[in-house]
Amino acid sequence: MAITFPDLPYPKNALEPHISARTLEFHHGKHHKSYVDKGNDAIKGTEFENMSLEEIIKKTSGDSSKTAVFNNCAQAWNHDFYWKCMKGDGGGKATGKIAEKIDADFGSFDKFVEELKAAGTGQFGSGWAWLVLDGDKLKVVKTLNAENPMSQGMKPLLTADVWEHAYYLDYQNRRPDYLSAFLDKLVNWDFANQNLG
């Protein structure tokens, strides 16, 4: 099954002024597309050719002989997931079932925000900050490069991309400002609730 390059779930300017159409042209149109193209090249003619991205990620994570397959396939999945984590009129305090779970597992919404910001700003170099379900408990984790919490048996609910190409055109080196905008103005809590199930 070929890896598909999905359209953005909204127009390129839908996240402005927090994330510009220009950033999405590069991030989605070039970076994400490149992961899809390279991922398809890497799985062609291999045992992974007919697997879902989730299966490929789980089977190749940690296998140094499959680094190219893992990196490109995981990044294709991570990006598709990330786009859905945002919407133009998003952000602010969590709503729905996940709001109750955040209060129960973190103690308060503010504590969750603090942990996600710390994970995102504290990730050295490139990577991701995630809200995951680990067993029956919510937690925040950070991953390096293409790594995905699925590989450790956790269920991703929400992610913030902290690779520089996600924010540099809009925020330069101000990653904390980008993460604040992500949480305050962009998070798609409906998507997070859907993932929580």
Are residues 138 and 192 both part of a single domain? yes
Are residues 105 and 187 both part of a single domain? yes
- Find the domain containing 186 and state its range: 97-196
Are residues 128 and 42 both part of a single domain? no
- Distance from C-alpha of 166 to C-alpha of 175, rounded to nearest angstrom: 10
Q: Backbone dihedral region of 186: left (phi > 0), alpha (psi from -120 to 50 degrees) or beta?
A: alpha
Query: Cβ distance 189 to 90 under 8 Å?
Result: yes
Are residues 65 and 147 both part of a single domain? no
DSSP label at residue 4: P
Last residue of some domain: 84, 109, 129? 84
- pLDDT (tens digit, 9 = 90+) per residue, 30-59? 999 999 999 999 999 999 999 999 999 999
Are residues 118 and 167 both part of a single domain? yes
Question: Looking at the domain assignment, is residue 177 inside a domain?
Answer: yes
Question: Looking at the domain assignment, is residue 143 inside a domain?
Answer: yes
Quick one: which of 154, 131, 162 has its CA closest to 54? 154
Are residues 112 and 47 both part of a single domain? no
DSSP label at residue 166: G
Are residues 112 and 181 both part of a single domain? yes
Question: Looking at the domain assignment, is residue 12 inside a domain?
Answer: no
In the predicted model, residues of the chain with pLDDT beneath 50 are: none
Are residues 103 and 50 both part of a single domain? no
- The domain that contains 50 carries what CATH number? 1.10.287.990
Query: Cβ distance 73 to 60 under 8 Å?
Result: yes
- Distance from C-alpha of 187 to C-alpha of 197, rounded to nearest angstrom: 17
Are residues 126 and 60 both part of a single domain? no
Q: How many domains does the chain have?
A: 2
Predicted pLDDT at 1: 63
| Model pTM score | 0.96
Are residues 128 and 176 both part of a single domain? yes
Predicted pLDDT at 2: 79
Quick one: which of 163, 129, 165, 167 has its CA closest to 149? 129
